């Protein structure tokens, strides 16, 4: 113990001497906040680590597109008793999962990989953001587009959602929040929709003097009938999970998020048993 205390006192003494020498020496204009000079630093290794941490963000503020893309769409392959089920999770919390160019590209890439994967039995589309399924197209990004870009963006959204609809396995939309415009069109492209009672759904494009452009005008009438579909599209009315269940917009309705998870679990088991013998 005495030796340890003596060593600590010696270390403190050396540190004071180094600090005093640093204070007495004239400042250098070429001083660099890089970790390469950490071994000779008068502030010791801990300060060198801090300096290195401070220097790295300045050199790497531009984040790679792969990291950003990975965050916006999470692809999970389940295992054990849920093997064969793939969950695609929308994850743009800052934009309410609005569909932008990058997210559409990621969705298209994921769907393209899934359609040729013979091990996939079911695909579930869900949100990683509480209270939001998908708010539709990213209007902030669209506002910055040249008029010539808008048409190609809408065509890409329509093509991506059509690719989802054409997947050779059952697809489920877990709507545990708001699904508006393109978000509802995404859900309508799925074979089965499970909505929480708190969910809000609607094709609201007519409020912006435009019409749904990603298949909603075709799939909604097929789901709930032409007359009611016209009423909802013309009025841009938003309905909740209970109302949508009554009109069959959502095939299944769950009381809340927790019960929605239970319902999805049951649905997974049902689909696995129904399709387990198909190649």
% helix, strand, coil for the chain, step of 5 = 55, 15, 30
With CA atoms as reference, report the closest residue to 239 among 185, 195, 205, 193. 195
137 is known as an active-site residue: yes
- Catalytic residue of the set 179, 181, 185, 214: 185
Indicate which residue of 84, 136, 177, 182 is catalytic.
Answer: 182
Q: Residues 177, 183, 205, 229: which is the catalytic one?
A: 205
Say which DSSP state 274 is in. H
Gap between the Cα atoms of 187 and 224, Å rounded: 14
Question: Which residue is associated with the tokens 């039995």?
Answer: 121
Evaluate the CA torsion angle 257, 161, 88, 264 in order and state its sign: positive
- Contact status, residue 111 vs residue 124, Cβ threshold 8 Å: no
Spot the catalytic one: 98, 110, 137, 187: 137
Handedness of CA 218, 222, 223, 229 (dihedral sign): positive
Residue 185: active-site member:
yes
SS3 call for 130: coil
How many other CB atoms are found less than 10 A from the CB of residue 106? 21
Query: Does the annotation count 70 as an active-site position?
Result: no
Residues involved in catalysis: 137, 182, 185, 205
């Amino acid at each position: 113990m005495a030796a340890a205390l003596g060593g600590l006192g010696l270390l403190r003494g050396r540190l004071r001497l180094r600090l005093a020498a640093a204070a007495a020496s004239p400042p250098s204009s070429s001083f660099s906040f890089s970790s390469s000079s950490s071994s000779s630093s008068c502030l010791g290794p801990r300060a060198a680590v801090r300096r290195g941490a401070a220097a790295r963000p300045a050199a790497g503020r531009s984040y790679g597109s792969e990291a950003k893309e990975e965050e916006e769409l999470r692809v999970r392959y389940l295992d054990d008793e849920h093997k064969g089920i793939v969950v695609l999770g929308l994850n743009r919390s800052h934009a309410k999962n609005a569909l932008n160019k990058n997210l559409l590209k990621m969705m298209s890439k994921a769907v393209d990989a899934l359609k040729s994967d013979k091990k996939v039995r079911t695909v579930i589309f869900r949100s990683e953001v509480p209270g939001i399924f998908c708010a539709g197209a990213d209007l902030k990004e669209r506002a910055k587009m040249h008029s010539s870009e808008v048409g190609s963006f809408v065509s890409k959204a329509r093509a991506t959602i059509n690719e989802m609809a054409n997947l050779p396995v059952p697809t489920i939309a877990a709507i545990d929040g708001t699904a508006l415009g393109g978000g509802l069109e995404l859900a309508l492209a799925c074979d089965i929709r499970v909505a929480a009672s708190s969910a809000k759904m609607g094709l609201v494009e007519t409020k912006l003097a435009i019409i749904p452009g990603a298949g909603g005008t075709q799939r909604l009438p097929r789901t709930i009938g032409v007359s009611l579909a016209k009423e909802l599209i013309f009025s841009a009315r938003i309905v909740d999970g209970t109302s949508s269940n009554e009109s069959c917009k959502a095939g299944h309705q769950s009381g809340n998020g927790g019960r929605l998870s239970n319902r999805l679990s049951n649905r997974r088991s049902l689909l696995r048993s129904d399709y387990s013998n198909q190649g």
